[in-house]
């Protein structure tokens, strides 16, 4: 138990569906992140939120839409995805945004696009 909880753990969706991934952190952290892990590729940073403001969008297609309603919750809204978007999506949090803090990851959400 890392203090970062992701739901659902597994999701299968069609290319025309709209779904959302949810992340909640119970650590009192100020920054939250979405990372993507595809087969045979290193983990890639997608989005960074610090104090509920997006501070980083790492050239992610618009079919991925993040939302951070407060410092404890982070969503990733998914629509009209492609099969190549199938991957493990990992949420993470840290105390601050200066880069020098330990980052804690959730258990991940396995996404399959059919």
Partner 1 sequence: GIQVEQSPPDLILQEGANSTLRCNFSDSVNNLQWFHQNPWGQLINLFYIPSGTKQNGRLSATTVATERYSLLYISSSQTTDSGVYFCAATGGTSYGKLTFGQGTILTVHP
Q: Which residues bind partner 1 (CB under 8 A)?
A: 2, 31, 33, 35, 37, 42-43, 45, 48, 50, 55-56, 88, 90, 92, 94, 97-108, 110
Question: In the bound complex, what is the minimum distance in angstroms from residue 109's beta carbon to partner 1?
Answer: 9
Q: Between residues 33 and 64, which has the closer beta carbon with respect to partner 1?
A: 33
Instruction: Specify which residues 91 forms β-bridges with.
Output: 34
Question: In the bound complex, what is the minimum distance in angstroms from residue 44's beta carbon to partner 1?
Answer: 8
Question: In the bound complex, what is the minimum distance in angstroms from residue 91's beta carbon to partner 1?
Answer: 11
d(Cα 43, Cα 74) in Å, to the nearest integer?
19
Question: In the bound complex, what is the minimum distance in angstroms from residue 105's beta carbon to partner 1?
Answer: 4
Please, what's the largest Cα pairwise distance for the chain? 40
Q: Between residues 18 and 44, which has the closer beta carbon with respect to partner 1?
A: 44
**95 Cβ contact partners less than 8 Å away, ≥ 6 residues apart:** 27, 28, 29, 30, 31, 101, 102
**Closest by Cα among 59, 50, 38 to 113:** 38
């Amino acid at each position: 138990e890392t203090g970062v909880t992701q739901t659902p753990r597994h999701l299968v969706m069609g290319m025309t569906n709209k779904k959302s991934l949810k992340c909640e952190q119970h650590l009192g952290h100020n920054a939250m992140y979405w990372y993507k892990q595809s087969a045979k590729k290193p983990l890639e940073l997608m989005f960074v939120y610090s104090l509920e403001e997006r501070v980083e969008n790492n050239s992610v297609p618009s079919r991925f839409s993040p939302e951070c309603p407060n410092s404890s919750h982070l969503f990733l809204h998914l629509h009209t995805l492609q099969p190549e978007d199938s991957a493990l999506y990992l949420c993470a949090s840290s105390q601050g945004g200066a880069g020098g803090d330990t980052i804690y990851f959730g258990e991940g959400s396995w996404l399959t696009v059919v």
